[in-house]
Amino acid sequence: MRPSADGYEWVAVVQHTTPANRSVLYDLGFDEAEARVLAMRADLMAALRQHIKGRGWTQSKAAKELGITQPRVSALMKGAWRDFSADMLLVLASRVGLQPTLKLAA
């Protein structure tokens, strides 16, 4: 594409919208089952971050309450989802009294 008379190069933008009933994770190449598990992990991480912030805990205090190290809390706060299994996130949520439950739909 050549620059226009005003010196700017115009680029076509392609937009994609994910349907409301489907996760963006599916669009990133994860199959439906993986996308659902990743979305659940993301929801758990968000709930934990909100809980920690809502309590006004430092990362050190959160580490003590969660029973993990401060660097792990830092990873949690940064959303490093690859560092946490769904099982671990459920354990952490339980440790701080969030009472996570699993609901299956047919």
Domains in the chain, ordered, with CATH? 31-95 (1.10.260.40)
pLDDT band at 24 (very low <50, low <70, confident <90, very high): low
Q: Contact 44/90 with Cβ under 8 angstroms? A: yes
Is the torsion defined by CA of 42, 65, 92, 83 positive or negative? positive
Amino acid identity of residue 10, one-letter, is W
Note whether 73 and 63 are within 8 A (CB). yes
3-state secondary structure of 6: coil
The residue behind tokens 């594409």 is 1
pLDDT band at 63 (very low <50, low <70, confident <90, very high): very high
pTM: 0.72
pLDDT of residue 62: 98
Mean pLDDT, all residues of the chain: 85
Q: What is the amino acid identity at position 93?
A: A
Amino acid occupying residue 95: R
